[in-house]
Structure formats: structure tokens, C-alpha cells
Amino acid sequence: MEITSGQLGLVRAISESGSLARAAWVLGISAPAVSQQIARMEDEIGAAVVERGARGTRLTELGELLAAHAVRVGAALDETKDAVAGYLGEHSLRLRIGAFPSAAVNLLPEALTALRYRHPDVELSITELLSDSGPDQVASGELDIAITASYGQRLSCEPNVRLEHLCADPIRVVLPDDHRLADRSDDEAVAMSDLGQDVWACGVAGRPARSQLEAAAARSGVTVRKTFQTESYDVAQALTSSGVAVAFVPEIALVRAKRTRTRRLIPELDRDIYVALPSTTDHVALATELLTLLRKGERPVR
């Protein structure tokens, strides 16, 4: 047995109006339609809801019970509608953003400036993330939008999240300026196979950036033995600037550190940058607007 909110509303209308005809008028339907719906409801329940007599129609004891529940259900539905309306109003100018560090520094500022210009009262918050953790936090409702990255792996996300590709970000090799390969011309690439004896400043073992690098090294016949492990590209470039390591850094994370040289890498590697946002953005319209602004500001990276 299934009782719908529509059926409860019909019983409530009969209770409050006192007759089938007046209930029909309140609901904007015909009296025969009310009678048919009540008959169908009684068949489904297996008991009488209204009692018809010489003095008119009244609710049975079961009908009165249903009418009482209808009042509570109606109040709950009204409260729900008010809550949704309040949520949409309260949070219409709120945007909770997540981004990994190099995206926060190099991709977000221009878009956020434009967003604040369009919406001076926007309430922004920004959370620093690991490169691949954004989709999960959007799925859980902690964030409204997140910039995330894929290092050659397929990103997975919950059904309530969609991923929009923003750009490809090529990986460069950063060399100390006294490195044996640093005197090559700026447009000359460096082969990973020529770096097998160097100390590498690269990501933490098991993280996507490191896994991508190790897979490419293996294809080039190189075994990664000596490393400084860091999740910060700024730290990696600082180590290169000091002359103790070579680093592998995405284009947008380059800081052009002193005493370093940046070269293209063979084999070519890149990370793909995505924007994660709810699959339905009716309640966070600013998320879609920020995505549009990010697309306008995306930079050519090849």
C-alpha cells in the first residue's frame, strides 16, 4: 500500500471544506474527479475513507486519521520549501573553492578578480588541496568547485560531480645552471635517459606525479634511485637553484628560480587540469560562472 502526498492533500481538502463539491472547488478540479480519486484510494487501501449519506459526505474514522497526517505532511513540505528557498537565498553569493597550490597562484587570481567585479558582495573561501582530492570534497558538499589535476591517470568521481577539462600543463625539466646539459639552447629538449645519474627533486612516492614520472623513467630505461621527495614545486625548484638536484615541474608552477635553466622534456609529459563541480549547479550558479572565467583565462601551454 502506498499513500501519496496528493491523496493526503485531497483528504485534507475534504476535511477542511466539509464536502466533496467544495473540496473540488478548492483544488480546481471537478467533483466527479474527486469522487474517482477517493474511490481509487479506497480500493488501494482496502477501507472506506469517506462515508456518503443523506446528509452529505463526511470522513470516516480512517479518513480523519489521514487528514490529521495530511496536516503534518503539508507543514513538513512547506518547511522544506522554505528551507530550500532560504538556502538558495542565503548561499547564492557564497562560493567555496578548492585548488592545488600552483593553480591557486596562477589560474585563480584573474578569474576571482573578474568574479568580484561582477558580484561585489560575493563570499569567497579558498582551500588548498592535494592535486587529486577536489572531486571528493565537491561530492561531499564541502566545496562548491575545485581545480584538480590528473598525471596521466583517469580521474574518478561520484555521480553527483562532473569534471570539465581546463587545459594541459606540460612538465618541464629544471636544471642547475652549472649542469652539464644546461648550456643547450632554450628550444633544445633534454632526454630523461640523460638524467639517470642525477639526484631528482620530485613528488612523494605513491602520489600521482611521482607515479607518472617513474613510469616514464622506466620506459626510458632509467631507475629512479636518488631523490628529494616533496609535494611542493617551489621547494623542488629551490633545491635545483642550490645545485643539488634536477626537478620536474609543470609549466604553470615554474617560478624561474635564479641559477636554473628550464628545458622541454623527452618523452613529453603533461598533467591535465580539470574543474570539478556539482553535476547540478542550480544552487551554486557562481560555480558555473567561475568555470567560464577560468576558461577565458586559461593559458596556452604548448
pLDDT tens for residues 34-59?
Answer: 888 888 888 888 888 888 776 667 88
pLDDT at 285: 86
How is residue 108 written as a grid cell?
Answer: 585563480
How is residue 217 written as a grid cell?
Answer: 623513467
Question: How many C-beta atoms lie closer than 10 Å to residue 279's C-beta?
Answer: 12
pLDDT at 85: 67
Say which CATH topology domain 5-90 has: Arc Repressor Mutant, subunit A (1.10.10)
What is the pLDDT confidence band of residue 300, given thresholds at 50, 70 and 90? Answer: very low
Task: Tell me if 5-90 shares its fold with 170-269.
Answer: no
Residues 6+ apart with CB under 8 A from 5: 73, 77
First CA to last CA distance, the chain = 63
Is the pLDDT confidence value at 191 over 60? Answer: yes
User: Phi and psi of 130, rounded to 5°?
Assistant: -70, 155
SS3 assignment, position 76? helix
Pick the CATH number of 170-269 from 3.40.50.2300, 3.30.300.30, 3.20.20.190, 3.40.190.10: 3.40.190.10
pLDDT tens for residues 236-281?
Answer: 999 999 999 999 999 999 998 899 999 999 999 999 999 999 998 8
Say which CATH topology domain 94-167+272-297 has: D-Maltodextrin-Binding Protein; domain 2 (3.40.190)
Question: How many C-beta atoms lie closer than 10 Å to residue 40's C-beta?
Answer: 11
What is the pLDDT confidence band of residue 220, given thresholds at 50, 70 and 90? Answer: very high
pLDDT tens for residues 126-173?
Answer: 999 988 889 999 998 899 999 999 998 888 888 899 999 999 999 999
Q: Could you tell me where the DSSP H helices lie in 91-180?
A: 101-106, 108-118, 134-139
CB contact at 8 A, 274 and 150: yes
CB contact at 8 A, 266 and 191: yes
Is the pLDDT confidence value at 228 over 90? Answer: yes
Query: How far apart, in whole angstroms, are the C-alpha atoms of residue 70 and residue 66?
Result: 6
The domain locations on the chain are 5-90, 94-167+272-297, 170-269
pLDDT tens for residues 83-99?
Answer: 676 666 667 788 999 99
pLDDT at 157: 84
